[in-house]
């Protein structure tokens, strides 16, 4: 039996994917950072749910999952982590979606290898675009 992807199915799936991404983001926060990684940098396990949303439903649901995940990060870790998560998530989602469009028939393993390669640039860009902290 073929499942039709209606608007309600997409909305329910986006909610489930966001819940999975939030759960993975929380569990990822429990893992201590390695000595060679910059402070606040995480492995990005929650991008698994975003990759699946991008491959199954397209760009808009994947960006919705990214935004919901970043809002959760804002509530649990603060504004700096929110900006890092949002910048990294949006850039990763756009790169994933473009790779899915151009390589829709190839193995997804090669796409998974491309995402960490642009990780350093997105974190540096997010840190550069952030306003300077104001101390009172």
In the predicted structure, residue 104 carries a pLDDT above the cut 70: no
In the predicted structure, residue 133 carries a pLDDT above the cut 70: no
Supply the pLDDT for residue 19. Answer: 93
Task: Decide: 21 and 69 in contact? Cβ < 8 Å.
Answer: yes
| Residues 34-57: tens digit of each pLDDT | 777 777 677 778 888 888 888 888
Task: Please state the pTM of the whole predicted model.
Answer: 0.69
Alpha-carbon gap, residue 78 to 80, rounded angstroms: 6
| Residues 54-84: tens digit of each pLDDT | 888 888 989 999 999 999 889 988 888 888 8
Alpha-carbon gap, residue 135 to 51, rounded angstroms: 39
**Of 22 and 40, more confident:** 22
Supply the pLDDT for residue 135. Answer: 45
Average pLDDT over residues 20-46: 80
* pLDDT tier for residue 134 given thresholds of 50, 70 and 90: very low
What is the torsional sign of CA 100, 19, 27, 60? positive
Supply the pLDDT for residue 55. Answer: 82
Average pLDDT over residues 14-26: 90
């Amino acid at each position: 039996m073929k499942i039709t992807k209606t608007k309600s199915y997409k909305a329910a799936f986006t909610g489930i994917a966001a819940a999975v991404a939030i759960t993975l983001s929380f569990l990822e926060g429990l893992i201590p950072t390695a000595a060679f990684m910059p402070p606040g940098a995480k492995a990005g396990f929650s991008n698994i749910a975003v990759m699946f949303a991008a491959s199954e439903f397209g760009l808009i649901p994947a960006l919705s999952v990214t935004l919901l995940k970043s809002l959760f990060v804002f509530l649990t870790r603060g504004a700096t982590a929110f900006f890092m998560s949002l910048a990294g998530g949006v850039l990763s989602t756009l790169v994933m979606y473009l790779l899915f469009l151009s390589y829709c028939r190839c193995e997804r393993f090669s796409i998974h290898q491309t995402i960490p390669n642009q990780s350093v640039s997105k974190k540096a860009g997010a840190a550069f675009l952030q306003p300077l902290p104001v101390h009172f």
